[in-house]
Amino acid sequence: MRQGTAKAADQSLEEMELLRLKFQLYKVEDQIKEHLRAAGERAFQLIERKGSGVLEDKEIQDLFAKVDQLKQEEARIRFEMDQIKERG
């Protein structure tokens, strides 16, 4: 009986951890979309004004650097979720 209770408690903790990680993942995915949208808007503005120089723009470079960082965070979260799923 105790073993079953302990197993159920462990499973509940794993499920809670997966939910927490899913929430983090959604937040990171939303941030990636926001940064990409901002980069697109900035690129459009630059093209309208100058007609070129989009990839050399500091603001766009910063946005893409943030996207790269967020992609790494996304991969870390997914890895952590996979580890939990493998245990369970």
User: Considering the chain, what is the average pLDDT of its residues?
Assistant: 91
Residue 9 has pLDDT above 80, yes or no: no
Residue for token digits 């960082």?
Answer: 69
Residue 47 has pLDDT above 80, yes or no: yes
Q: Give dist(CA 26, CA 24) in Å, integer.
A: 5
Residue 7 has pLDDT above 90, yes or no: no
The answer, as to whether pTM is greater than 0.85, is no
Domain boundaries, the chain: 2-87
What pLDDT does 87 receive? 84
pLDDT 10s digits, 60-83? 999 999 999 999 999 999 999 999
66: which residues sit within 8 A by CB, 6+ positions away? 31, 35
Residue for token digits 């901002």?
Answer: 38
